[in-house]
Amino acid sequence: MAKLEQPIDAAQPLPVIQVVGLSKCFGSHPVLTDINLAIMPSETVCLLGPSGSGKSTLLRCMNWLERPSSGEVWLHGTQMGYQAGRKRLASEAELAKMRTRIGMVFQQFNLWSHLTVLQNVIEAPIHVQKRPKAEVVAEAEHLLAKVGLHNKLQAYPSQLSGGQKQRVAIARALAMKSDVILLDEPTSSLDPELVGEVLAVIQDLAQAGMTLVIATHEMKFAEEVASRVIFLDQGRIVESSDPKTFFAQPETARARQFLERYIHVGAI
């Protein structure tokens, strides 16, 4: 049952996202088991793990696209999915409002196909957040310039490459001015030659101090950019450490196996 207060550590600043004892089952199949983690401001956390280990589900539970079976998700002191300070489930509208504080970038981009690049970016700030159009458009143009798409404002998604689509999707998430952005394998459906341009944009965000949680199979990127690496296996957090330690000397056999297999596959 929902607690009324976030379990905080007085010695630490308030986490942007705190996940407490979270589990998720699909039917009788447990996909996540007792997940505890805190994402601190300006952290770049990379979620690693074999496919099927629950990375996507964990990200989707954080913004309640998937409702956790048990456990809590706290967003800067408010509990996702519950009415403020109460044990009652939030309404769809209240939940939607909380979701605007968490940006999300999907593996398949999921740009809205009936809207132009610019419209994709301004749609939610104008119609969900009800911010003034002129201000939103100016910001969106700025963001799209930052991700290198200033000359594609009027293009439709179908006219873009995968790398361009994903950069628009990142701009769309940024335009919400959310506290944190969740990225679910943002480069996994890209042609290899387009991966770099997207990772570069993400790296810029990390350096600019944006709080990021990234599920990824890009080990080199994780090693260089992550401030922390979380290794998931079969729905449990098996390791959580700084990237240098994780990649040089993983503590567990499972992580070693995973990295060996990855390096082996990567070598082919």
Partner 1 sequence: MSLRFDLIWEQAPAFLSGLWNTVWICAIGISLSLILGILLLLPLFSHHKVVRLPTKLLVEAARAIPFLMLAYLVYYGLPSLGLTLDSWSTAILTIVIYNAAYVADILRSAWVNLPKGQTEAARACGFTGVQLLRRIVLPQILIAAAPILGNQAIQVIRDSSFLAIITVPELTFTAKAVQADSFVPFESFITAALLYWVLCLLIEFGVQRLEWVRNFYGKA
Ligand X SMILES: Nc1ncnc2c1ncn2[C@@H]1O[C@H](COP(=O)(O)OP(=O)(O)O)[C@@H](O)[C@H]1O
The site for ligand X (CB under 6 A) is made up of 26, 31, 49, 51-57
Name the residue nearer to ligand X (CB basis): 61 or 124: 61
Residue of 250, 225, 226, 224 whose CA lies nearest to 239? 250
Q: Which of 172, 201, 254, 259 binds partner 1 (CB under 8 A)?
A: 172
Q: Which of 8, 14, 25, 65 binds partner 1 (CB under 8 A)?
A: 65
Number of residues forming the site for partner 1 (CB under 8 A): 32
Least Cβ distance, residue 203 to partner 1 (angstroms): 23
199-238 residues in contact with partner 1 (CB under 8 A) are: none
Give the binding site for Mg ion (CB under 5 A): 56
CA angle at residue 202 from 223 to 141, to 5 degrees?
A: 170
What residue number has its CB nearest to Mg ion? 56
Q: Name the residue type at position 170.
A: I
Q: Which does 128 bind (CB under 5 to 8 A by kind): partner 1, ligand X, Mg ion, none?
A: partner 1
Query: Applying CB under 8 A, does 113 fall inside the site for partner 1?
Result: yes
Q: Which does 54 bind (CB under 5 to 8 A by kind): ligand X, partner 1, Mg ion, none?
A: ligand X
If one counts every other C-beta atom within 10 angstroms of the C-beta of residue 116, the result is 18
Q: Which of 34, 76, 123, 262 binds partner 1 (CB under 8 A)?
A: 123
Q: Which does 114 bind (CB under 5 to 8 A by kind): Mg ion, partner 1, ligand X, none?
A: partner 1
Choices 30-38, 120-128, 199-207, 227-235; region in contact with partner 1 by CB under 8 A: 120-128
Q: Which of 63, 79, 164, 187 binds partner 1 (CB under 8 A)?
A: 63
Query: Applying CB under 8 A, does 92 fall inside the site for partner 1?
Result: yes
- The values of phi and psi at residue 14, to 5°, are -65, 125
Question: For binding to partner 1 (CB under 8 A), which residues are involved?
Answer: 63, 65, 92-93, 95-97, 99-100, 102-104, 106, 108-114, 123-124, 127-129, 156-158, 165, 169, 172, 176
